[in-house]
Amino acid sequence: MIRVDAAACTVVDLAEACAWIAAGGIVAYPTDTFYGLAVDSTSDVAVAALFDVKGRDRHVAMPLIAASLEQARSVAAVDGASARLAEMFWPGPLSLVLDASRRVAAAIHAGRHTVAVRVPAHRVAQALAEGAGIPITSTSANRSGEPPVWTVDGLADIARDRRVLVVDGGATPGGLPSTIVDARVVPPLLVREGAIAWNRVLDCLNG
């Protein structure tokens, strides 16, 4: 386990966690909603291990987080209405459904060739993606079907797996998950209601 100051965390503080990801490992880390699980989104082996740890259905896609809009563009097409929403709501709890590049491990998008990406409003999560050098997975740090986790204590089951390194950044805000929107289509599609109200998204696009 690595303990960091969530308000002042740097890439240097997360060097061990970034190396763990580079070696194909899984990192449990805090975000602006709940704790998530990170692996290299371009590694087929690491993504397969993540599905195994979570007990997740292989037909269910996994979301990603990026350190910045520029990093998000390294694995997905962010343009048009999607770019407008990214510029308005990132960093923050808005995930955008985007066309995935071939760099992304196929299991991430479960054959759909799209991926949900966001830039989180949390220093640890941003620094971890920055240090990894690639957008990382942000699936919730729990077994599939169980409630999301907002404290390190809730990670007990996941943390017992030797493939998982825990970054303790204190309690996360919890609350609603990120809102997921597909702005590639007209009209835009609300995929999942969450922390950002749908009417705010529509106001941004219609403004």
178, amino acid identity: S
Q: Write the pLDDT tens digit of every residue in 98-152.
A: 999 999 999 999 888 999 999 999 999 999 999 999 999 999 999 888 889 999 9
The token pair that represents 169 in the structure block: 């950044």
Q: Which candidate, 40, 188, 171, 179, places its Cα nearest to that of 116?
A: 179
Judged on CB neighbours under 10 Å (0-12, 13-18, 19+), 191 is middle
Contact call for residues 91 and 72 (beta carbons, < 8 A): no
- Quote the CA–CA distance of 186 and 151 in Å, as a whole number: 39
At 182, the pLDDT band (50, 70, 90 cuts) reads very high
Q: Write the pLDDT tens digit of every residue in 8-47.
A: 999 999 999 999 999 999 999 999 999 999 999 999 999 9
Question: What is the predicted pLDDT for the residue at 35?
Answer: 96
Question: What is the predicted pLDDT for the residue at 199?
Answer: 96
Q: Is the pLDDT of residue 188 over 90?
A: yes
- Residue 103: left if φ>0, alpha if ψ -120 to 50, beta else—which one? alpha
The token pair that represents 122 in the structure block: 């949390």
Mean pLDDT across the chain, nearest whole number? 95
Contact call for residues 17 and 160 (beta carbons, < 8 A): no
Question: What is the predicted pLDDT for the residue at 34?
Answer: 93
Question: What is the predicted pLDDT for the residue at 145?
Answer: 87
Q: What is the CA angle 150-140-5, rounded to 5?
A: 45
Q: Is the pLDDT of residue 59 over 90?
A: no
**Unique residue bearing structure tokens 């797996």:** 161
* DSSP one-letter string for 57-124: -TTS---EE-SSHHHHTTTEE--HHHHHHHHHH-SSSEEEEEEEPTTS-HHHHTTS-EEEEE--S-HH
**Average pLDDT for residues 172-198, to the nearest whole number?**
95
Q: Is the pLDDT of residue 162 over 90?
A: yes
- Quote the CA–CA distance of 125 and 29 in Å, as a whole number: 7
Question: What is the predicted pLDDT for the residue at 110?
Answer: 87
Question: What is the predicted pLDDT for the residue at 49?
Answer: 96
